[in-house]
Structure 1
Amino acid sequence: MSDLLANDLITPDAGEAPLLAQADVSILKAVPVTRLSYRGREGSLKAAGKAFGVALPVQPLSNSTAPKRAALWMGPDEWTLLAPEEELNAVFEAIEKGLGDTPHALVDVSHRSLAVIVSGAKAEWLLNTGIFIDLSLEAFPVGTVTRTIFHKAPVMLWRTGPDTFVVESWVSFMDYVSGLLVQVGQELAAA
């Protein structure tokens, strides 16, 4: 399912030059998307997923995708919901209407974060210079999503393909995160 997402929602921003383009690793800015933070109890999940267009995952470190939709598990009662940028109002209103009086929290955090796509044969290696988790395909399979730290910056890491990752960071940290990734990538090329 994650490959579907990589092809229709988290895509390179065609208006931006690659941050790094090498034979074995690339870093591309992703197009802006709608990001909603959803918090709710178990009784609200089915209705929220139906209104959003994809079931909310209940397994830690997992995601659910459908065309132009992704729901990422962030914690026992927290999800990040992704949709095309232009669908913000429609998605927000559909979830609010679908839940009615059911207690929940739905917050638009679209402008809080940016994402880059790190891909290539050396993507794991590049990310492991600042993320100290085993990113091998066996330990961190396609579809796995987690919050973690890249050097000193909080990030969300999502493996969307065998050699492709989405790295999301708050806007205020993205220059730091992407700058370090590019710097290490350039050192790799010089080695």
Structure 2
Amino acid sequence: MPEHAAYRSPFIAPASGTGAAGIVPLGPASRHVLRLAPDAAAVAGRAGLFDLSGAINSARGTGERFAARLGPDEWLLVAPDGDGSAGRVAADLGGCFHSLVDVGHRQAAIAVSGAAAPMILNAGVPLDLDERAFPPGSATRTLLAKAEIVLVRWGEGFRVECARSFAPYVHAFLREAAREYGAA
């Protein structure tokens, strides 16, 4: 049975998009915050199916399974729902002092893709999202308007992770920003 069998989408509007941009609420996922001393992470290198070797503000993996390093001792681990990855991480780090907290029910995610994606996000994100400044594999904690988010870039697409309580606001904000590009 999936870890989040009782998952209910926090989004009130359907996915939208055209060739210029797509804003798609993502379904449930396994999400964990890992706190681990940097020297222990360097020794471990991997935990479960996650690569912990990335620099701060980077993500290692794919859009579906990745470890985003958000600080010197903090990673956001995201995997397909119900895959049991947390157990493998805990087993691999059994000899190291660490904290692994399930935040799967706390967060929701939205994919923002297409050529206009950086401009749509920049309507509320105060970072340079040009590919030279925020290349694929980048990840950071930032703000989108008034909501704290984790932003990860994969190719031309972005993944926006936010608190479930902010998900309707973040989704509506992105849809409104996308109207300028004919995507809503």
Q: TM-score range by the shorter chain?
A: 0.7 to 0.9
| More helix, by proportion | 1
Change (3 A) 1:67 1:170: closer
Deviates more, 1:95-104 or 1:176-185: 95-104
The one-letter amino acid paired with 1:189 is: G
Q: CA deviation at 1:48?
A: 5.3
Q: CA deviation at 1:25?
A: 1.0
**How do 1:1-80 residues align onto structure 2 when only pairs under 5 Å count?**
18-45=14-41, 49-65=45-61, 69-80=65-76
Instruction: Name the Cα RMSD after superposition.
Output: 2.4
The one-letter amino acid paired with 2:46 is: K
Q: CA deviation at 1:189?
A: 2.6
- Out of 85, 92, 103, the position equivalent to 1:98 is 92
Q: Deviations over 1:119-175 (max 9, x none)?
A: 1111111111101111111111111111100001001111111x2111111100010
Task: Find the aligned partners of 1:188 and 1:99 in 2 and give their Cα distance.
Answer: 46
Tell me the TM-score normalised to structure 2 length.
0.84
The one-letter amino acid paired with 1:140 is: F
Tell me the TM-score normalised to structure 1 length.
0.81
Unpaired runs of at least 5, structure 2 = 1-8
Change (3 A) 1:60 1:117: same
Unpaired runs of at least 5, structure 1 = 1-12
The one-letter amino acid paired with 1:120 is: G
Task: Find the aligned partners of 1:155 and 1:46 in 2 and give their Cα distance.
Answer: 26
Identical amino acids, percent of aligned pairs: 36
Task: Find the aligned partners of 2:70 and 2:76 in 1 and give their Cα distance.
Answer: 7
Task: Find the aligned partners of 2:62 and 2:153 in 1 and give their Cα distance.
Answer: 16
Work out whether residues 33 and 102 of structure 2, in 8 Å CA contact, stay in contact via their aligned partners in 1: yes
Work out whether residues 25 and 119 of structure 1, in 8 Å CA contact, stay in contact via their aligned partners in 2: yes
Q: CA deviation at 1:67?
A: 9.5
Work out whether residues 148 and 154 of structure 1, in 8 Å CA contact, stay in contact via their aligned partners in 2: yes
Give 2:3's aligned residue: none
Give 1:169's aligned residue: 162
Change (3 A) 1:146 1:22: same
Q: CA deviation at 1:96?
A: 2.0
Work out whether residues 18 and 26 of structure 1, in 8 Å CA contact, stay in contact via their aligned partners in 2: no
Task: Find the aligned partners of 1:143 and 1:51 in 2 and give their Cα distance.
Answer: 19
Task: Find the aligned partners of 1:153 and 1:100 in 2 and give their Cα distance.
Answer: 35
Q: CA deviation at 1:46?
A: 5.1
Query: Is 2:179 the partner of 1:186?
Result: yes
Alignment coverage as a number of residue pairs: 173
Give 1:113's aligned residue: 107
Task: Find the aligned partners of 2:65 and 2:15 in 1 and give their Cα distance.
Answer: 26
Q: Secondary structure at the match of 1:132?
A: coil
